Amino acid sequence: MKITLASDHAGYDLRMKVKEHLEKKGIEVIDGGATTGSEPYSYVLAGQKIANDILEGKADRGIAICGTGIGISIVVNKFKGIRCGLCSNEYTARMCRQHNDAQVMAMGARVTGQAVALSMVDAFLDEPFAGDRHAVRVNDIKAQEEEFFK
Ligand code: RB5
């Protein structure tokens, strides 16, 4: 599995921890976004990078980090075909896979501790989509996209 990982400046330090964690597990990472935590870098650019990497088939999943996770999750969800869950703990990270088949998880570096964040990463990568009634709802999301993202 290949992961595209990007953040703005507010997410930089946590992103480095996530990157190290993934690489220790032998997972290939496409790292993008801010190159330091001190120079402002737009979460819009970081979110666009993640969504494009997924849509272009460069990565299987994405992890998006900004200060709250809110801005970057909004950006990623503007792309047709992408489902991004803004998660705050291991349970929501698991559920965004199991129920929503999210390809991208967003989190907030200013509101999520490092240990929790890494447990969220593991849950997000390990959990399969449950399909069944959840597939019906995900298909309804796709139908809505066809209708409104013309
Ligand atoms: C950056 O200061 C902050 O606005 C950004 O990281 C994010 O929290 C926006 O949603």
**pLDDT tens digit string along 122-144?**
999 999 999 999 999 999 999 99
66 phi and psi angles, rounded to 5 deg? -135, -165
The pLDDT of residue 73: 98
CA distance 54 to 122: 19
Which stretch of DSSP H or E encloses residue 25? Answer: none
Is 25:63 a contact under the CB 8 Å cutoff? Answer: no
Q: What is the CATH number of domain 2-148?
A: 3.40.1400.10
19 Cα–ligand 1 center, Å = 20
Which atom of ligand 1 lies nearest, measured to the CA of 11? 6
> Is the CB of residue 43 below 6 angstroms from any atom belonging to ligand 1?
yes
pLDDT of 149 over the 90 cut: no
> Is the CB of residue 68 below 6 angstroms from any atom belonging to ligand 1?
yes
69 phi and psi angles, rounded to 5 deg? 90, -10
Residue 126, classified by CB atoms within 10 Å of its CB into exposed (0-12), middle (13-18) or buried (19+), is exposed
Residue 130, classified by CB atoms within 10 Å of its CB into exposed (0-12), middle (13-18) or buried (19+), is middle
pLDDT of 7-38, one tens digit each? 999 999 999 999 999 999 999 999 999 999 99
pLDDT of 43-78, one tens digit each? 999 999 999 999 999 999 999 999 999 999 999 999
More reliable by pLDDT, 31 or 148: 31
Atom 6, ligand 1: which residue's CA is nearest?
67
Domain boundaries, given as residue ranges, for the chain: 2-148
> Is the CB of residue 62 below 6 angstroms from any atom belonging to ligand 1?
no
pLDDT of 79-117, one tens digit each? 999 999 999 999 999 999 999 999 999 999 999 999 999
Please state the length of the chain: 150
